[in-house]
Amino acid sequence: MSLQPFLDRLDQLQSDAQNAFDGAADADALEAARVTFLGAKNGQFKDVQKMLGGIEPADKRAAGMRLNDVKQAIHTAFETAQSQLGGGGSSQIEPGFDPSLPGRRPRLGHIHPITQTIDHLTEIMGRMGFEVAEGPEVEDPFHNFVALNIPEDHPARDPLDNFYLATAGTAVDIGEGDALLRSQTSTVQIRVMQERQNSAPGQPIRIISLGRVYRPDAPDATHFPMFHQMEGLFVDEHVTMANLKTVLRVFANNYLGDDVEIRFRPSFFPFTEPSVEVDFLWNGTWIEFGGAGMVDPNVFEAVGYDPEKVSGFAFGLGVERLCMRRHGITDIRDLYSGDLRFLQQF
């Protein structure tokens, strides 16, 4: 037999085998195709292999090499088809794998108690008509101090009482003075009033803002250098302290229970006049949760509102302290320890 018909037969065999393996719909069909082409007894490859004996001696070497190549190609085509069908039955199971064992449970995530608290506070205040506003954590001195009636020489602006941003010992100026991490969410009052002056002039404002604030306070059971506040701002005509107290009492009763009483203690904040500390009576003890007051006329003027026409109240409550009271947590540091045994209780 001459070489060329033999090579043509090999080509035909390779392409038939490839088509049969590719077309096998399941493991049984693939196995049948394997027997047809690679079967040890009557497989088509064997038949062609037998024809090698009749090849001219001068062509034998070339014919034998091609035969080996085709054999290899058919085996590879079979293995590829087998892996595409998802393994070839029990022979594919890794040694040591016991399919009768129960599956591994994925570890479920958990919403942090402070995030849960933020969601809860948002829901309670939303029922009283307060919508959520947001502001940046990196602030400029205008929003953190100036517009809040805190002048240049005020001790609240002391570098030792704030986290000013600096690189290589030089303050970072973000175009509006030295940037700092906001020390209170009252900054959002300013941003919202500025924005509403443009988008909805003359319309009442009723917002809350919940977010992180930063102060270089030494950590102890009730202080942490990073904590959250809930800021509230209500601006309209004829807003009074009675409205402020009502909103805070309804809030406290919803969040902490009907037996919680509320007390205002005279205090001072540069951006409210009069100003109060807000205490809640709970289990026989008065506890400070935040500050509040009537928006100072200087603040209204700084953002272009006429204090003769509008009035408003504002408050800022510590979110961690609220969460701790509700859940009986005695040390704020537990909230940020990352200890899952603690966090998973909430």
Question: Binding site residues, as ranges?
Answer: 273
The DSSP line for 136-172 is: -SEE-HHHHTGGGT--TT-GGG-GGGS-B-EETTEEP
Q: Report 161-180 residues binding ligand FA5 (CB under 6 A).
A: none
Q: Is residue 263 close enough to count as binding ligand FA5 by CB under 6 A?
A: no
> Do the Cβ atoms of 310 and 292 come closer than 8 Å?
no
Number of residues that bind ligand FA5 (CB under 6 A): 24
Residues 326 and 24: their CA atoms lie apart, in Å, by 65
336 is written with which tokens? 């940020």
Residues 183 and 189: their CA atoms lie apart, in Å, by 14
Q: Which is nearer to ligand FA5, 66 or 326 (CB)?
A: 326
| Part in contact with ligand FA5 (CB under 6 A); list of ranges 69-77, 94-102, 267-275, 303-311 | 267-275
CA dihedral 250, 254, 255, 258 (to 10 degrees): 90
Shortest distance, CB of residue 127 to ligand FA5, whole angstroms?
A: 21
Closest CA to 48 of 78, 74, 19: 74
Shortest distance, CB of residue 136 to ligand FA5, whole angstroms?
A: 16
Q: Is residue 255 close enough to count as binding ligand FA5 by CB under 6 A?
A: no
- According to DSSP, the residues that pair with 108 across neighbouring strands are none
Shortest distance, CB of residue 204 to ligand FA5, whole angstroms?
A: 18
- CB nearest ligand FA5: which residue? 318
Q: Report 178-217 residues binding ligand FA5 (CB under 6 A).
A: 184, 186, 215, 217
Q: Is residue 79 close enough to count as binding ligand FA5 by CB under 6 A?
A: no
DSSP state of 178: B
The only residue of 37, 130, 269, 300 in contact with ligand FA5, by rule CB under 6 A? 269
C-beta atoms surrounding 343 within 10 Å: 16
Q: Is residue 318 close enough to count as binding ligand FA5 by CB under 6 A?
A: yes
DSSP state of 81: H
Q: Is residue 321 close enough to count as binding ligand FA5 by CB under 6 A?
A: yes
Q: Report 134-163 residues binding ligand FA5 (CB under 6 A).
A: none
| Part in contact with ligand FA5 (CB under 6 A); list of ranges 43-51, 118-126, 246-254, 311-319 | 311-319
> Do the Cβ atoms of 136 and 256 come closer than 8 Å?
no
- Write the CA distances from 320 to 54, 117, 216, integer angstroms: 91, 8, 17
**Interface positions with ligand FA5 (CB under 6 A):** 184, 186, 215, 217, 223-224, 227, 229, 269, 272, 275, 288-293, 314-316, 318, 320-321, 332
